[in-house]
Amino acid sequence: MRQLIETLFEWGPLGVFILAALDSAGVPIPGGVDALLVVLSSTRPDLAYLSAGLAVAGSAIGSMGLFYIAKAGGEVLLHRHTSASPRAAKLREWFHTYGLITVFIPALLPIPLPMKVFVLCAGVFDVHPATFLAVVLAARLPRYFGLAYLGVQFQEGALDYLKAHVTELLMLAAALFVILVLAVKIAGSRRARRARIPSSSS
């Protein structure tokens, strides 16, 4: 794996694109995309934001590939189990309400959080592809352009800066999860109240 990353580093932005696509498609490369992007941005600042854009594109392509694999392979299994198991049906309902939060947070923060299993669930539980892609892009854009910025600003110290703030990033992940769950609950309650108003007035 080290040899692969060194080779992709020599390829510059194209290497970042390939590594991001592989990582998001399910190939286990923990932290490899982040490290490659930061190092490339620190050594070649002129290529930093091009590399970030290609990292976003590669991640989107890889994530959509994994999503469609799960969607194609999981539909039959899903319908078989949800028709017979109330627990599976509840899990599907929960994922449609909160599941994309579990995709967004690990896609956003440059710390090792589980994401691929939730991408697979998004495909299996029939999340709309455009919605899934929008969530991935909303997370990857600030993550990769932020890392490129860190690489340009901190240069060789960028990775050390990230390592020194892992605890803060984990706390941010937990806080984001709570805030987003509460936001979804509040929005759901408001929709339910609006739906009751016409029926009560009639």
Query: CA 167 to CA 10: how far, in whole Å?
Result: 32
Angle at 163 between CA 162 and CA 166, to 5 degrees: 85
Residue environment code for 34-73, b if the CB has 16+ CB neighbours within 10 A, otherwise e: bbbbbbbbbebeebbbbbbbbbbbbbbebbbebbeebbee
In this prediction, residue 85 carries a pLDDT of 60
pTM of the shown model: 0.82
Q: Per-domain residue ranges for the chain?
A: 2-191
In this prediction, residue 87 carries a pLDDT of 67
Query: CA 168 to CA 171: how far, in whole Å?
Result: 5
In this prediction, residue 193 carries a pLDDT of 75
Strand, helix or coil for residue 173: helix
Strand, helix or coil for residue 35: helix
Closest CA to 132 of 119, 145, 115: 119
Residue environment code for 135-174, b if the CB has 16+ CB neighbours within 10 A, otherwise e: bbeebbbebbbebbbbbbebeeebbeebeeeeeeeeeebe
Q: Which residues of the chain have pLDDT under 70?
A: 1-2, 74-88, 197-202
